[in-house]
Amino acid sequence: MSVTSPLLQASDACVLEGLRAIVGEKACIEVASDMQPFTTDYRKLYHGKALAVVLPADTQQVSAVLALCFEHNIPVVPQGGNTSLMGGAVPDGAGNAVVLNLRRMNQVQEIDLLNDTMTLQAGVTLQAARAAAEDAGRLFPLRIGSEGSCQIGGNLSTNAGGTAVLRYGNMRDLTLGIEAVLPDGRIYSSLRGLRKDNTGYDLKQLFIGSEGTLGIITAAVLKLMPLPTASAVAWVAVDNPHAAVELLTEAKRVAGQAVTAFELISGPALTLVLESMPQLSAPLPAAHDWMVLIELTSGGDAESLDAMLMGILEQGMERGLVTDAAVAASLADARAFWMLREEISDAQTRAGGSIKCDISIPLSKIADFIAVASAQVLALAPDARMVIYGHMGDGNVHFNPLRPKDVTPALFLAENYARVSHAVDGLATRQNGSISAEHGIGVAKRDDLLDCKSSVELELMWQVKRALDPKHLLNPGKVLPGLPGTA
């Protein structure tokens, strides 16, 4: 659609014409209703507006779009699969920004089996990246629930984590190089597939995790791992989070590197999933306040891995940490256990009225943290459903109090969002934890950085921002809170 509204300023019309010339008419969306899927986040909590949504086909087009926007002082909001939980990938309501969605840049460009690397464009979905690696006989180990829609560029720009970080690390750990386009259109590239390179500053790290505020990541070289040949999975009832931490220590003692995932799940989290998806069933006959999902994987045989898992569970029972356990007898069982875990996030989205806290804290303190934070939240919102779960093995818990069934999402959030998240995040900060372990900052947690970052950290962040994005055009309003006299 290329009809320019008469209400547009002459300069906007000129920018739109330029954008169409760069990406082609079909890849430049200008009608508000067509832009809506790109200007609203997937939980439908953030509704923005845009001048246009562009879908470039390659890095050169991204570069040309950014150069044009730089010249005309037009903000640009980079977007991958638009699965951010923090409102990080949609524009604000001003309507003056261009959303640059990377989904057309979806080519896996090279798999180098000798180097164990994969080079791909940023718009490849995580699922497609994993499938391409698997087709080549390798594992790309990042694993998150939204893998069908989230894209590698978004995974990089948020330094995504997920359920296999315990074994393989997060996106930063899995990346050898990136290509990124700077706000003025210049292209930075470190797509060299090197595992060692100490030639000065490691600039790629600036772009990873900075949520598109410094440059737009357009391609990456990622590490590949051997495909595991065996896995063993158990759904385990534990007495409490302290017992879960003890069990994790035991698991690491017995199975070492084979401990791939160790996920904590509270009773209310499982209940929510079962209520919202009645076709699924609980792995254990009785209800439990706390459960963990353990996965071991290895390149060895299934028998030894099963024996290790049984050893961990027996020790756990002997020591009174484990009260019941179901071991997956087949791949289908294992998938069913994982589905219960992976559906927790979407079940909250469907219910509405969830307060998202994404805490990390040293493992030695995490159980106490959960106890104290729960007591504080229940003092503020006594009927909240305590949906607490996540990547216990990484010291990362999604602490997401949910509205009671008889209170509307809007009312629950209006009354509780600020005070509950302030209490939980404040406690984490005082204990030297993080208020965003893996979800990023976006717009949702931006101003909370003022409470948890030192003035030195904030000043340095702003200095880096100004150095790379002097006109403050890339993903404005995200990540960086205003600094008095500097914003």
The residues binding ligand 2HG (CB under 6 A) are 85, 145, 344-345, 348, 356, 390, 398, 400
Q: State the nearest-atom distance from the C-beta of 52 to ligand 2HG, in Å.
A: 30
Q: State the nearest-atom distance from the C-beta of 215 to ligand 2HG, in Å.
A: 25
Q: State the nearest-atom distance from the C-beta of 283 to ligand 2HG, in Å.
A: 18
Q: State the nearest-atom distance from the C-beta of 145 to ligand 2HG, in Å.
A: 5
Q: Which residue has the tokens 């220590």?
A: 249
Select 63 or 146, whichever has its Cβ closest to ligand 2HG: 146
Q: State the nearest-atom distance from the C-beta of 387 to ligand 2HG, in Å.
A: 8
Select 306 or 358, whichever has its Cβ closest to ligand 2HG: 358
- Let me know: does 161 contact 152? Beta carbons within 8 Å: no
Q: State the nearest-atom distance from the C-beta of 390 to ligand 2HG, in Å.
A: 5
Task: For residue 432, give Cα distances in angstroms to 241, 422, 486.
Answer: 19, 15, 27
Using alpha carbons, select from 450, 454, 468 the residue that is nearest to residue 479: 450
Select 138 or 398, whichever has its Cβ closest to ligand 2HG: 398
> Could you report how far apart the first and last alpha carbons of the chain are, in Å?
36
Select 61 or 360, whichever has its Cβ closest to ligand 2HG: 360
Q: State the nearest-atom distance from the C-beta of 160 to ligand 2HG, in Å.
A: 9
Select 151 or 400, whichever has its Cβ closest to ligand 2HG: 400
Q: How far apart are CA 341 and CA 378, in angstroms?
A: 24
Q: How far apart are CA 137 and CA 358, in angstroms?
A: 34
**The residue type at 401:** P
- Let me know: does 126 contact 142? Beta carbons within 8 Å: yes
Select 153 or 401, whichever has its Cβ closest to ligand 2HG: 401
Select 63 or 163, whichever has its Cβ closest to ligand 2HG: 163
DSSP state of 257: G
**Residue 151: beta bridge partners?**
125
- Let me know: does 253 contact 245? Beta carbons within 8 Å: no
**DSSP symbols for 7-54:** TS-HHHHHHHHHHHHHH-GGGEE--HHHHHHHHB-TTS--B---SEEE
Using alpha carbons, select from 91, 55, 56, 87 the residue that is nearest to residue 76: 91
Select 220 or 444, whichever has its Cβ closest to ligand 2HG: 444
- Let me know: does 366 contact 427? Beta carbons within 8 Å: no
**The residue type at 138:** R
Gyration radius of the chain's alpha carbons = 23
Q: Which residue has the tokens 């609980």?
A: 282
Taking CB atoms, the residue at the shortest distance from ligand 2HG is: 345
Using alpha carbons, select from 145, 147, 150 the residue that is nearest to residue 263: 145
Select 28 or 386, whichever has its Cβ closest to ligand 2HG: 386
Q: State the nearest-atom distance from the C-beta of 435 to ligand 2HG, in Å.
A: 13
Q: State the nearest-atom distance from the C-beta of 159 to ligand 2HG, in Å.
A: 13
Select 31 or 339, whichever has its Cβ closest to ligand 2HG: 339
Q: How far apart are CA 68 and CA 473, in angstroms?
A: 12
Q: State the nearest-atom distance from the C-beta of 433 to ligand 2HG, in Å.
A: 16
Select 38 or 399, whichever has its Cβ closest to ligand 2HG: 399
Q: State the nearest-atom distance from the C-beta of 8 to ligand 2HG, in Å.
A: 38
Select 119 or 400, whichever has its Cβ closest to ligand 2HG: 400
Using alpha carbons, select from 413, 191, 388, 423 the residue that is nearest to residue 291: 388
**Residue 40: beta bridge partners?**
47
Task: For residue 365, give Cα distances in angstroms to 242, 283, 289, 430.
Answer: 9, 29, 19, 12
Q: How far apart are CA 472 and CA 159, in angstroms?
A: 22
Under the phi-then-psi rule, with left for phi > 0, alpha for psi from -120 to 50, and beta for the rest, what region is 387? Answer: beta
Q: State the nearest-atom distance from the C-beta of 274 to ligand 2HG, in Å.
A: 16
Question: Which run of H or of E encompasses 138?
Answer: strand 138-139
3-state percent breakdown (helix, strand, coil) of the chain, nearest 5: 40, 20, 40
Select 214 or 361, whichever has its Cβ closest to ligand 2HG: 361
Q: State the nearest-atom distance from the C-beta of 132 to ligand 2HG, in Å.
A: 23
Beta strands in 205-340 (DSSP E): 216-223, 225-226, 230-238, 259-266, 290-298, 322-327
